[in-house]
Structure 1
Amino acid sequence: MPKRLLVIGACGDIGQGIARGARAQGLSVIAADRNAERLQRYADGSGIATITGDLASEEAAIAMWETAQAPFGGVDAVAIAVNAPNATKPLMDWTGDEMTQVYATNLLTHFNAIKAMLRRLPENGMLIGIGGGTADFILRDMAQLSMLQAAQRMMYRGFAKERKSGAQIRELMLISMINGERKREIAQPDWVMDTEVGAHICAILADPETFAGPVLRLESREQVGKPEPRKAAA
């Protein structure tokens, strides 16, 4: 299993869970975020290294990759948990400029990271992007989020289909609600813990053949560390 994991977006609810969950599984973790102040949460003796950087362009993503080599002498796997907040309103109320910005901060960030990092990972490495279940349904006044998630899923499928050799690529769609830092007080017992997302990613890294993908789903706490159940044929 890859031993050195770069987590991009490591100060969000999901990213922080991935970083801490993977560290608990014994991986060397590099936490990346745009904001150095937010990264101070890792100055708690966890052993998680931190770097600053962004994915605004392919060049910026390459710079992040190069910076990430320093803490542990390299990177074997990348987890991308970057999803910028955006407005809740009907599609008719969005302007073209607003929609362009949403795509730049939610979809093109993943695109830039994949282009910069997938080919630079070692042969047995893997890049995993985090997606969401709204790729398949629309919440009230959040159709733009479903559009983004559906496009992101097809983008990961496209990169996987075009891949000829080298590191593998997956998208992990989080279907369950996630018990993260900002939702602790309202979380239900059946919600997947943020650190369990990290544990599940470690299972994918350890056994790529079982988690063949390219698109995977995490649907419940009971599934953590296991492949999704096969659907019965209709």
Structure 2
Amino acid sequence: MTTPRLPKVAGIDSPPGQVPPPAHTVAPAPAVAPVPPAPTAPGAVIQDRLAGWVSDLTTLHELTERLARTAALDDALHELLRAGAALMGARRGLVVMEPGDGLGPDTTVGLGLSRPDLGHIETVPRGATSYGRILDGLSTTPESHADLLAEDGLDPRHREVAARLGYAASYALPLATDGTGRLGAAVWLYDEPAEPVERQRHLIGLYTRYATEHLARLLELERTR
């Protein structure tokens, strides 16, 4: 019994001129109105929030572990600045250690700022800087300056230094807890007008609370050496 030959499929292996013409023309399908997207289910919103919280907690855990591995005050201050910059989306910053008990040691450490840069910042009148107000006890809460150069009443020297170093916004907060007292202040600088969102403020608050306690332990070790 001979197996019948299958017809060739057009466009695959039919020789030229052997493709049969179409029997009829198909009319175009009528336009269909776009269907509006379905509303997001409440469960999906909750899952997204939970995923965000888990991600934030994981990041916070990793950063505090890195800080806990530092065994010297100077190393811990540099790690604090790096972690804070990552959480805040900033590129530069400085931390000023000036323990409230007056026993020192007093020191200033920068991230992305050279020693001459820090020297320029130190020429700004202390009371005109956010970290100066924190260290002098005039401010006990974080200070956000989203657009420094647009602020009315900004100290002229502060304006000059900000323009010279190329930063346009800052976020500062005290390094202090009820148990440790005030140890210092940390400031992160933004190249453009900006300010951290509520989520970032919450994370940096949790991180610096832990960091301050760690710094207090290292400070005691430093003083006993």
Asked if TM exceeds 0.5, the reply is no
Greater Cα radius of gyration, structure 1 or 2: 2
Normalised TM-score (structure 1):
0.26
Normalised TM-score (structure 2):
0.27
